[in-house]
Amino acid sequence: MTPPAHPPILRVDSAGLPIAWISWQRAAELICTDRVLWSTGESNVTVLGGVRNGERSRLVIDPVIATRDMHRDPSGKVPPLSNRLLFARDRHTCLYCGSRYSESRLTRDHIVPRCQGGPDTWTNVATACIRCNSDLKGGRTPEQAGLKLIALPFAPNTAEALILANRRILADQNAYLSRMVPDREDRWQ
C-alpha cells in the first residue's frame, strides 16, 4: 500500500530556528530514535504502523518538530538563489512591467548585468518577463534602459525561504515561520 501523501513536516533546531522541510517518514524516524525534543501545531499527521497483538500501532506527527540539533550560526546565512524561490519572492510578477506570468515565462534578470560586473546574488536579481529582460533591458542597467523596478530586491532569510519553497504549507507551519519574517510590504514602490 502506498502511504498517503502528507504535507512536509517543518524541522527546527533545539532553539526553535527552522532547518528544513522533511518528509513524514523522516520525521517518524526522528521520533522513533528519540531525536525529537518537542513538537507543536494542531494539524498533525497520524501514521499507521504494523499490527502487533491484534492492534495497529499509530504515530502522531505534529507539523513542527524540534530535534536535538544545535543550530549553526544562522546570521549571515543566505538561502541559495534559485529561479523557483526568486519568482516566488517576487510573486511571479515581472518587476519591470508589473505583469504576472507562469514560471516558464519568467526569467532571472541581473539588475546590474553580468557583463557589467553585476553579481548573481539575491539583491542583484529581479524576476522579469522575457520581453522586459531580453527586448527592453538587454545588457543594460534599468537606468540605462529607461526602466524602473516596481519592487526592491532582497535576500530572504531561512524562514522566509522555507515559506516560499513550500506550496503545501500548513497554517500552523506558516504561523510558526512568519514570526521570523520581517514585514516586506514596503518593498513594493
- CB nearer to Zn ion: pick between 129 and 162: 129
Residue 59: other Cβ atoms inside 10 A: 15
- CB nearer to Zn ion: pick between 129 and 164: 129
Length in residues, the chain: 189
- CB nearer to Zn ion: pick between 26 and 92: 92
- CB nearer to Zn ion: pick between 45 and 86: 86
Task: Report 79-108 residues binding Zn ion (CB under 5 A).
Answer: 94, 96-97
Question: Is position 145 an interface residue for Zn ion (rule: CB under 5 A)?
Answer: no
User: What is the rounded CA–CA span in Å between residue 64 and residue 43?
Assistant: 10
Q: Closest separation between CB of residue 83 and Zn ion, Å?
A: 15
Task: Report 123-142 residues binding Zn ion (CB under 5 A).
Answer: 129, 132
> Which three-class secondary structure string do you get for the chain?
CCCCCCCCEEEECCCCCEEEEECHHHHHHHHHCCCEEEEECCCCEEEEEEEECCEEEEEEECCEEEECCCCCCCCCCCCCCCHHHHHHHCCCECCCCCCECCHHHEEEEECCCHHHCCCCCHHHEEEEEHHHHHHHHCCCCHHHHCCCCCECCCCCCHHHHHHHHCCCCCHHHHHHHHCCCCCCHHHEC
- CB nearer to Zn ion: pick between 150 and 181: 150
Q: Closest separation between CB of residue 62 and Zn ion, Å?
A: 42
Q: Closest separation between CB of residue 94 and Zn ion, Å?
A: 3
Query: What is the size of the binding site for Zn ion (CB under 5 A)?
Result: 5
Q: Closest separation between CB of residue 16 and Zn ion, Å?
A: 40
Q: Closest separation between CB of residue 147 and Zn ion, Å?
A: 9
Q: Which residues bind Zn ion (CB under 5 A)?
A: 94, 96-97, 129, 132
